Amino acid sequence: MLETAISILTDPLAITIYKILAIIFVFAMPMATFLTLFERKWSALIQDRIGPNRANIPLLNNFRGRGSLHIAADGLKSFFKEDFVPQGADRLLFTIAPFFGFAAALANFAIIPFAAPIGDFAFQITDVEPGLLYIFAVTSLGVYGTVLAGASSNNKFALLGGTRASAQMLSYEVFIGISLLGLFMVYETTRISEIVALQNTYWFGDVIPKWGVFTQPVGFIMFFAAMIAETKRAPFDAPEGESELVAGYFLEYSGMRFASFMLAEYVAIVGVSALVTTLFFGGYHVPWLHLWESAPAWLVAILQIGKFASFTFFFCWLQLQIRWTVPKFRFDQTMALGWKKMLPLALANTVVTAFVILIFAQ
C-alpha cells in the first residue's frame, strides 16, 4: 500500500502537477498580487503621495500594515461585489472572456526554467523543441479575451476598446516574432533550455557572458517594447483609454470577472519580466558561478532561483516605472510606432545579424 502511494506521488504526471502548482501559487500569483499594491505605492511615491493605507483591522487597534491589507481588501471587495451581466450581452462569451487572458499569461511559465536541473529533476514544466514558437502561440490567445469581452458586452465603448486591443495585439505580435529572429540565428535553436545554456558561455575567457542583451541589444529593446504593447500597459494602453473609452473592452465587467482581467494584467507583467530574463539576461545562470566548482548543487540551485527572481522583479519594477514616466500614446501613434519604426528596425537588425554571423563564420 505504501509503495503504491509512493509510486503515485512520484509519477511523472504528478511531478508535473507539483511544478505547475508551485509556479502558479509560489511564484506567479504571489508576485502578481504583490504588484497590485506595489504599483499604487510606487505611483504615490513618484507623485509625492502616501498611497493606499486606509484598510485596517479594528480588533487589532486599527492595524494597517503600511497599506498591505489593501491586497486582502481588494480581494474581498471583488468576491462580494455584484456579478453584473448587461442586458443584451452574450452570457456565455461574456463569462469566458476573462479567462483567455488569464490562461495565456500563466501558460508562458510552462517553458521557463527557474534553475539548472539536479539529477533527473528539472526546474521547468516542459522543454519543447519549438520553445519560442510556443511563446508566440500562447501570447496570441490573449487576443481572444479582449475581442470576446468587447463584442459580447453589448456596449459600443467596449466594442471599440476590443477592436483597438485586437488591432494592437495582432500588430505587435509581428514585431515580437521579428525581434527574436536574431536570437534564433545567434544561438541556432528555438529550445528555451538550450538558449539559456548557451548564454552561460563567455567572451575573452571567463570575462563577459554571452547574454542575449549583449548579442542582440536592438532585439532586446524591441522585444521588451513589443511585449509591453502586447500586454496593453501604459504608454500603450489606448485599448483601455479612460479619457476616451471610459474603461475600454472590460467596461461592463464587475466582481471577480473584472478582478480576473486585472490580475491577468499583473501576471502578464511577471511573465514578460521572466521571458526577458530568460532570453536576454542569462535566465537562471549566475555569472561566473561555474568557477566555484566545489559548490553544492542545492546551494547553486538557491542562488540560481534567487538570481532569476531578482531579475524578474527588476523588470516588473521597470514596467511600473515606464507607466508612470512615459506619457500615454494616442492609438494612431501606437500603430505608427510599430509599423513605421519598429518593423523596419527589426528587419534591419535581422539582416545585420545575418551578415555578422556570415562574416565570423568564414
Binned at pLDDT 50, 70 and 90, residue 318 comes out as very high
Range of the structural domain that residue 335 is part of:
83-361
Question: What mean pLDDT is reported for the chain?
Answer: 88
CB 225 within 8 A of CB 312: no
Residue 219 resides in a domain = yes
- The reported pLDDT for the residue numbered 234 is 84
Residues 6+ apart with CB under 8 A from 240: 161, 165, 232, 247, 248, 249, 250
Residue-wise pLDDT for 200-216, tens only, equals 989 888 888 999 999 99
Rounded to 5 degrees, φ, ψ at 114 are -100, -20
Residue 178 resides in a domain = yes
- The reported pLDDT for the residue numbered 9 is 63
- The reported pLDDT for the residue numbered 8 is 63
Residue 331 resides in a domain = yes
Residue 27 resides in a domain = no
Residue 10: pLDDT above 80?
A: no
- The reported pLDDT for the residue numbered 57 is 85
Between CA 238 and CA 335 the distance in angstroms is 10
Residue 21 resides in a domain = no
Residue 93 resides in a domain = yes
Between CA 335 and CA 331 the distance in angstroms is 6
Between CA 188 and CA 205 the distance in angstroms is 22
Between CA 65 and CA 54 the distance in angstroms is 10
Residue 44 resides in a domain = no
Instruction: Go through 17-51 and write b for each residue having 16 or more CB atoms within 10 A of its CB, e for each that does not.
Output: eebeeebeeebbbebbbbbbbbbbbbebeeeeeeb
Residue 159 resides in a domain = yes
Number of domains in the chain: 1
| C-alpha closest to that of 34 among 351, 324, 358, 316 | 316
Between CA 280 and CA 211 the distance in angstroms is 6
